[in-house]
Amino acid sequence: MMTPMRYVVLVLAIVISLHYILSFTHEGYGQATSISNIRSQWSAGRPPYKTPVPDEYYVSENVTAPSGRRANAAIVMLARNSDLNGIVVSMKQMEDRFNKKFRYPYVFLNEEAFSDNFKNRVTELTDAQVEFGLIPREHWYQPDSIDEAKASASRADMVKNNVIYGGSVPYRNMCRFNSGFFYRHPLLDKYRYYWRVEPDVKFFCDLDYDPFLIMQDQNKVYGFTVSLYEYEATIPTLWQAVKEFIHENPDLVSPDNAMAFLSDDGGESYNRCHFWSNFEIGDLDLWRGESYTKFFDHLDKKGGFYYERWGDAPVHSIGAALFAKKEQIHFFNDIGYRHEPFQHCPQGEAHKRGKCWCDSAQNFDYEWYSCLSRYDKMFS
């Protein structure tokens, strides 16, 4: 070998050796030069979900035991005993498409005790741990601070104007519970992440990677599959309450937040976009934190859950958009999902890889009532 070439080889060997030594001895250097970080830099200027999930997250098709690395997470299902048949449909699909490979525990919550029949049916569907919890009365029912005469008049007016669930107190109880209390249940104290699943939903695709690990490793805090506009008649004063909170607590709003998803004029008005919260994969610490706790308490004192019909979807969406960075909100484009009447059906390679059984032409992502284009625009 010629002498100059020897020097080149020697220098390369030294550089490579130093790289590996620093990767193992300095965590910051290792993270900065990791493949995932380099990929994230390549994806700058476009939505994060456009960068495919790295192959190392996928498990082999013939794996029958749970993978070795798991997040501290649970699948959460709010249900009544009368929801049993719908729960079985959702849970069976969840097991077949995802959880038989990963065996994450289930937490079922109900304002009444679950029947033995309910418990037996659902535990037969999984090898994972299943827990059943009773919701504290003060977390579920309309609080005494609500003026019932005013609330009743509001419900009657909504019924008159054909507002969906406009006359339902139980629906309002559910919205308030999901907005500010589900994550406080003692059965969830030991968990960091959750996947919310409802009765009678469809999961169209095989999911051969663990979305909880994506949340954990990429510092995501909120994941969705469908986004759309809220019914204006259900939230006439919600944004005014939000603006009051921001004005009083500007230090709690995250830098590089997702306000652009919520508003087209810098926060002056609300465009009604929200993430459809019947599907959520989230970080419980987002809701447990000081910012969201104060935010929910502020909204709860306004009484809008009962005087109007504030849903947990816009409340969660506004909370995530204000108190997280936009990069921490993730679109799970490869999880095929339907909750009547909308569905997300993965497209292209994601549809093929997931062996999805939905028709890719029937996809809500960019329909006129979808807000996904506004989410995409934040990263352009």
Task: Collect all residues with Cβ–Cβ distance below 8 Å to 54 and sequence separation of at least 6.
Answer: 35, 36, 39
**Residues making up the chain, counted from first to last:** 380
Burial of 29-42, coded b for 16+ CB within 10 Å and e otherwise, reads eeeeeeeeeeeeee
Q: To the nearest 5 percent, what fractions of the chain are helix, strand and coil?
A: 50, 10, 40
CB count in 10 Å sphere of residue 192? 17
Burial of 76-85, coded b for 16+ CB within 10 Å and e otherwise, reads bbbbbeebbe
Residue tagged active-site, from 95, 230, 280, 308: 280
**Closest listed residue to residue 347, CA positions, set 331, 329, 365:** 365
Task: Examine the residue annotation and report whether 280 is marked as an active-site residue of this protein.
Answer: yes
Q: 341: cis peptide before it, omega within 30°?
A: yes
So which residues are the catalytic ones?
A: 280
